[in-house]
Amino acid sequence: MDRPRAEYPNPQFERTDWECLNGPWNCGYEPTAPGFRFSRDESTAVSLRKAARYPYQINVPFCVESRLSGIGDTGFVQRVWYRRTVHVRARGRRVFLHVGAADHLTTVLVNGRLAGRHRGGYTSFAFEITDLVADGDNEVFILCEDNNRAPMVMRGKQSEKKQSHGCDYTRTTGIWQSVWLEYTPQAYIKHIRIFPDAANGRVTVMADFCGSGNFSCEAFYAGKAMGCASQTNAAGCRHYEIKLSETHLWEVGRGRLYDLTLRFGDDVVNSYFGLRDVRLDGYRFLLNGKSVFQRLVLDQGFYRDGIYTAPTDGRLAQDVIDCMALGFNGARLHQKVFEPRFLYHCDRLGYLVWGEAPNWGLDISSPESVPIFLGEWREALRRDCNHPAIIGWCPFNETWDYHRRRQYDPLLSTVFDFTRDFDPTRPCIDTSGNYHVKTDIYDVHDYDCDPARFKQNYDRLMTEGVLHDHIEINQGRQHYGGEPVFMSEYGGIKWAGDDSIKSWGYGVDVKTPQEFADRYCALTEALLGNDRMLGFCYTQLYDIEQEQNGLYTYDREKKFSDDIYQRIKQSNTMKAAIED
In tens, the pLDDT along 222-258 reads 999 999 999 999 999 999 999 999 999 999 999 999 9
Q: Residue 80's pLDDT is what?
A: 98
- Total domain count, the chain: 3
406-453 pLDDT, tens digit per residue, is: 999 999 999 999 999 999 999 999 999 989 999 999 999 999 999 999
Task: Tell whether 7 is covered by a domain.
Answer: no
CATH code for the domain of 302 = 3.20.20.80
Beta-bridge mates of residue 294: 535
**How much is the pTM?**
0.97
Is residue 259 over pLDDT 70?
yes
pLDDT at position 403 is 87
Q: How confident is the model at residue 475 (pLDDT cuts 50, 70, 90)?
A: low
pLDDT for the residue numbered 469: 64
**What is the Cα–Cα distance from 174 to 143, expressed in whole angstroms?**
8
Boundary of a domain, candidates 248, 276, 304: 276
Domain identity same for 486 and 539: yes
Same domain, 338 and 392: yes
Q: Which of 156, 177, 198 is the endpoint of a domain?
A: 177
Segment 515-526 shows an average pLDDT of: 97
pLDDT of residue 504: 84
In a domain, 577, yes or no: no
Q: Is the predicted pLDDT of residue 348 greater than 90, yes or no?
A: yes
Instruction: Give the total residue count for the chain.
Output: 580
User: What is d(CA 210, CA 190) in angstroms, rounded to the nearest whole number?
Assistant: 6
3-state secondary structure of 341: helix
Q: Is the dihedral of CA 85, 87, 93, 99 positive or negative?
A: negative
Same domain, 37 and 59: yes
Q: Which residues of 354-391 are buried (b: 16+ CB within 10 A; e: fewer)?
A: bbbbbbbbbbbbbeebbebbbebbebbbebbbbbbbbb
d(CA 485, CA 512): 32
Range of the domain at 561: 288-572
Q: Supply the pLDDT for residue 498.
A: 58
Based on the domain organization, do 382 and 453 belong to the same domain? yes
**Domain stop point among 177, 196, 228:** 177
> Is residue 17 assigned to a domain?
no
Reply yes or no on whether the pLDDT at 165 is more than 80. Answer: yes
Give yes or no: residues 233 and 366 share one domain.
Answer: no
Question: For residue 44, is pLDDT > 70?
Answer: yes
CATH number of the structural domain spanning residue 41 = 2.60.120.260
Q: What pLDDT was estimated at residue 496?
A: 76
pLDDT band at 404 (very low <50, low <70, confident <90, very high): confident
Cα separation, 401 vs 42, in Å, equals 34
Q: Are residues 132 and 203 in the same domain?
A: no
Helix (H, G, I), strand (E, B) or coil at 203: strand
Residue 15 lies in a domain: no
In terms of Cα–Cα distance, which of 162, 144, 150 is closest to 28? Answer: 144
What tens digit of pLDDT does each residue of 262-293 get?
Answer: 999 999 999 999 999 999 999 999 999 999 99
On whether residue 13 sits in a domain, the answer given is: no
252 occurs within a structural domain:
yes
Residue pLDDT, tens place only, 484-506: 999 999 999 998 765 556 788 88
CA distance 438 to 434: 11
Is the pLDDT at 320 greater than 60? The verdict is: yes
Say if residue 466 is in the same domain as residue 509.
yes
Question: Does residue 119 lie within any of the structural domains?
Answer: yes
Among 488, 373, 500, 380, which residue's Cα sits nearest to residue 441?
Answer: 488
Contacts of 253 (CB under 8 A, 6+ apart): 324, 329, 349, 350, 351
Domain co-membership, 311 together with 334: yes
- pLDDT computed for residue 208 by the predictor: 98
12 is a domain residue:
no
38 and 149 belong to one structural domain: yes
Cβ burial of 31 (10 Å; 0-12, 13-18, 19+) is exposed
Indicate which CATH number applies to the domain containing 216.
2.60.40.10
